[in-house]
Amino acid sequence: MAAKQRSWGNNRSRTLLTLVWLGLCLLAIVFLGLATGAVNVPASTVLNTLLGWDGPRQDFIILNSRLPRTLLAAVTGAALGLSGAIIQSLLRNPLASPKIVGINSGAAFAVLLCAFLLPDAAARLTPLAAVVGGLVAGAVVWLMAGRLALDAARLTLVGIAVGFVMEAGVEFLLVTQTGPEFSAPLVWLTGSLWGRGWTHLASVAPALCVLMTLAMLLSFRLDLQYLGPQRASALGVRIGVERGLLLLIGVLLAALSVSAVGVVGFIGLMAPHIAVRLVESRHRSLLPAAGLIGAILCAGADVAGRSILPPIEISAGILTALFGAPFFIWLLLVESRRTGSQ
């Protein structure tokens, strides 16, 4: 018993240290995002501007431009990381993610459809449209998973098929609706945070923070769900209700993130897998770690995208795809080997 208590205490201490370390890494990336870009700002000037100290300041560049977009990247990245962890756990599929199961593409299609049909109200209805599109895509995959009892590989193929259908709708809209006024949606689809400000942050951050808090509070229920339907039912878990609620949270996190920053793919796939290698597998530790890693990935991609070839900006979604696609292939190989050995 004493040995088990020491082991649990060591795991908990290591998890806390890991979360602190991830938090410090995120703060460093946020600070770097405030200092770098088309115009590099000295660290002393950044501190003067943030803390109101005497000395050189850059209020417009830092407070009005870089700070809101960096915070938005961090918040949406954390939401995508949490969404990926929830979806992978519920589907018991390590290959699942908001992008791969079609949620991101569904949200993007709905947002573009809203922009083309209701251009005057598009900005106000964007979060709602993203939620509806994400829910439709998620519902299709969920129903297929429940009724056909698909394994991990086949379920992934269903999600990819749903994503292709939604992406075909996106391409149809872009082809049929041509003109200079549609250049902004093209940039948005690549997962760019260009032009994002306090208005965009305020439109999604409160809801995302509430959803992420709910996900943390329900982390123990995810542990029970991961045991499987039979074991969870034996422990008194209401399988259908809780799975539906948790899936709804996961879909909303991904859809609202897409409405704000566009399609930034693979964060929901990579963040949970990196987190499970750093902390214990219980969701009370896995979820915050996945959220912090998602924030680091998204904010880091945004900072790198505007620092590589200034003043040209490379969309964060392009950089995450460059890393995420090989990561997905590696996961496929790992899963195929594991399945073959069983």
Query: Domain map of the chain by residue range?
Result: 72-341
Instruction: Label residue 3 by pLDDT band (50, 70, 90).
Output: very low
The DSSP secondary structure of 72-83, one letter per residue, reads: HHHHHHHHHHHH
Cα–Cα dist 203/190, whole Å: 20
pLDDT at 59: 86
pLDDT at 96: 78
Degrees to nearest 5, angle at CA 164 with 336 and 141: 65
Residue 269, judged by CB atoms within 10 A of its CB (0-12, 13-18, 19+), counts as buried
Q: Give tens-digit pLDDT for 10-57.
A: 677 888 899 999 999 999 999 999 999 888 889 999 999 998 888 888
pLDDT at 198: 92
Instruction: Label residue 73 by pLDDT band (50, 70, 90).
Output: very high
Record the pTM. Answer: 0.88
Residues 172-181, mean pLDDT to the nearest whole number: 69
Cα–Cα dist 42/57, whole Å: 10
Q: Give tens-digit pLDDT for 298-322.
A: 999 999 998 888 888 888 988 998 8
pLDDT at 4: 46
Q: Give tens-digit pLDDT for 108-151.
A: 888 888 878 877 776 777 788 888 888 888 888 777 766 655 55
Q: Is the domain defined by 72-341 classed in CATH 1.10.3470.10? A: yes
pLDDT at 307: 87
Q: Give tens-digit pLDDT for 75-115.
A: 999 999 999 999 888 877 787 788 877 888 888 888 888 87
pLDDT at 69: 93
pLDDT at 237: 65
pLDDT at 172: 84
Cα–Cα dist 302/292, whole Å: 15
pLDDT at 210: 95
Q: Give tens-digit pLDDT for 203-258.
A: 899 999 999 999 999 888 787 776 666 666 666 667 667 777 888 899 899 989 98
Q: What is the DSSP letter of 270?
A: H
Q: Give me the phi and psi of 15, to 5 degrees please.
A: -65, -45
Contact 99, 251 (CB under 8 A): no
Cα–Cα dist 261/244, whole Å: 26
pLDDT at 267: 93
